[in-house]
Amino acid sequence: MPVLEKARALIARPSVTPDDAGCLDLIASWLTPLGFTIERIDAGGVSNLWARRDPVGKPTGRVICFAGHTDVVPTGPLEKWTSPPFEPTVRDGYLYGRGAADMKSSIAACVVAMERLANRRPASADFSLALLLTSDEEGDAVNGTVRVVEALQARNEKIDFCIVGEPTCVGRLGDTMKNGRRGSLSASLSIKGVQGHVAYPHLVRNPVHLAAPALAELAATTWDAGNEYFPPTSFQISNAHAGTGAGNVVPGSFEIMFNFRFATASTVESLQSRVHALLDRHGLEYDIRWTLGAKPFLTPRGALCEALTEAVATEIGIAAELSTTGGTSDGRFIADICAQLVEFGPVNASIHKIDECIAVADLEPLARIYERTFERLMTT
């Protein structure tokens, strides 16, 4: 089972973010004999790889890309693992190890799919095959995929179709693919007041009292109605703090942190403008600092969604559901240079947990799904 062998070889490397632990060198050794050109775009202690196999005489041909990450989250207490996290172990039909589901098995399956396509289809086919891999997805994500995208943008390279191998499935392989993700917009809000003794309310301005009606309105506001693919934008307060620790002192400021998870039905500018207008209408004196964690992206039904859906139906016999749920992924960076992007990979029930695992029986079907999808796109 070539997928199992490759997955085990990757899991055996303790690539806790942002350490690649030699994974990219190993992957490059698999790709180079297939005619891939290997380029390292490392930055800030992060390992990044851009590998591309172009049609003969057509280096500007259309590009089908697989994207992913070799880094994994920390293991947690080693004594709680049934078998060591970096000693890949097959037990009761499952492959155990940190990264088994998120997402070294996806990378192994993709490489096998690329091998089969490269061996079966001539290099003159009118599509380039590419892989974009990083060791900085589980960590800060500031020197990983985004740096590769910047390098590709600088030389005007684009991607036509991209599959990000994140673990997207819920109950069984093939049940879910992500065709978009919500954006994340955070703010740190400071409401100003006047500190003083609680027994002299005429000498103070309590910022908690002043802010409460505005916060209630923010929490009750309907920001948008969502759309066919996304739920409505959500607003959540994550932290609120005021006070000196003394029970007889009115605080001089009230600090609030909140977050929007927003769909393509809203924009960063529209959300910021509405928040400022609401705070101003309540007559608050405030400072606010905004942080854009991710822009939303969406791939409507089209060639890529259809190709992947058809591949899943052929190999697994089920209809994959389109979903935009969950947090952020590196797809948010790639979407800037990619016309169509989806995320698809194994069952995510064990990711980031003790005894992370993937069903061995899912490895080969995952490779065949990737292979069928790529091949279908090549004839699009």
Q: Which residues are catalytic?
A: 71, 137
Residue 73, C-beta contacts closer than 8 angstroms, at least 6 positions apart: 16, 17, 98, 102, 138, 352
371 to each of 14, 91, 353, 359, 376, how far by Cα in Å? 28, 27, 29, 19, 9
Alpha-carbon distance of 103 to 346, in angstroms, equals 8
Residue ranges of the annotated binding site for Zn(2+) are 69, 102, 138, 166, 352
List the beta bridge partners of residue 181: 297
Characterize 8-38 residue by residue with b for buried, 16 or more Cβ atoms within 10 angstroms of its Cβ, and e for exposed: bbbbbbbbbbbbbbebbebbbebbeebebeb
Give the C-alpha separation, 39 to 16, whole Å.
22
Helix (H) or strand (E) holding 357: strand 357-359
